[in-house]
Structures are given as structure tokens and as C-alpha cells.
Amino acid sequence: MAYSNKVIDHYENPRNVGSFAKDDPTVATGMVGAPACGDVMKLQIKVNEQGIIEDAKFKTYGCGSAIASSSLVTEWVKGKSLDEAQQIKNTDIAHELALPPVKIHCSILAEDAIKAAIADYKQKRGG
């Protein structure tokens, strides 16, 4: 199965790979996995006082589509408010990366990862 150019670009030059310090109070972490393929995805966001996502990082063990989906999401969320980031849909990711139907679950994983990170941030902030 051929990957789209956008997937290959993100796979070969992934944006924002890495980790933030977990004990930083402005950092929140979303961890998700897909049992069917064994992929594991970690997505972290750094949120400022105004509730804007200043920076994002990811680490993904999985196929090219999973890496590209998480890489794309870290690009998209930067500069967004938490509410705006919450609106990101897997269909937008799949469309942008031209994912084939068998790889749609990779975009679902990335959507769930950002939602999990936002939930972690809200929980850290006590609500």
C-alpha cells in the first residue's frame, strides 16, 4: 500500500518529536494505544496562563500513518486554545494526510491522544 506524500513527509521529518518534563505543571500528557496493531502514542501539550497551547511534543511507536497523524496534530494544536484543540476531528487528520480506509484508525488514535492530553490538563488544574 502506498503512503501519500504528506504521510511520507511527516514520517521522514516528524515535527515536534520528544518529551516535556512530566512534573512541569503547565504540561499535560495524553497516552493512547491501539490493541489491534500494538501502536502506542504519547502526546504532550504545554499550556500557558491564557489557556493557549504554546508547544506540543509527541512520541509514537507505530506505522507511518500513526507517526504522521500525531506529528500533524502537534503542528495543528500549537497556538490553539484548549477548546479549539478539542474540536480536532480524526476525519480532518485523515483528509489532510489522505489516509486510506485501513489507516483511519491511526487518525482516531491521534484525535484520542489530544483529547486525553486536554483531559489530563483539566484534571491537573482541578476541573
Partner 1 sequence: MNYFQLFDLPATFELDLTELGSRYLALQRKFHPDNYAAASNRDRLMSVQQTANINDAYHSLKQPLLRAEHLLALRGLKISHEQRSFTEPVFLMAQMELREQLEDISASADPNAAIMAVEQQLQQQRKVLLRQLADALAANTAEQNQLAAELVRKLKFFFKLQHELELIEQQLQD
Which residues form the catalytic set? 37, 106
Q: Does 36 bind partner 1 (CB under 8 A)?
A: yes
Helix (H) or strand (E) holding 13: none
**For residues 2 and 36, which CB has a smaller minimum distance to partner 1 in the complex?**
36
Are the beta carbons of 62 and 40 closer than 8 angstroms?
yes
DSSP string, 46-108: EE-TTSBEEEEEEEEES-HHHHHHHHHHHHHHTT-BHHHHHT--HHHHHHHHT--GGGHHHHH
Q: Does 52 bind partner 1 (CB under 8 A)?
A: no
**For residues 8 and 40, which CB has a smaller minimum distance to partner 1 in the complex?**
40
Q: Does 17 bind partner 1 (CB under 8 A)?
A: no
Number of shown-chain residues binding partner 1 (CB under 8 A): 20
* Interface contacts to partner 1, rule CB under 8 A: 29, 31-38, 40, 42, 59, 61, 104-105, 108-109, 112-113, 116
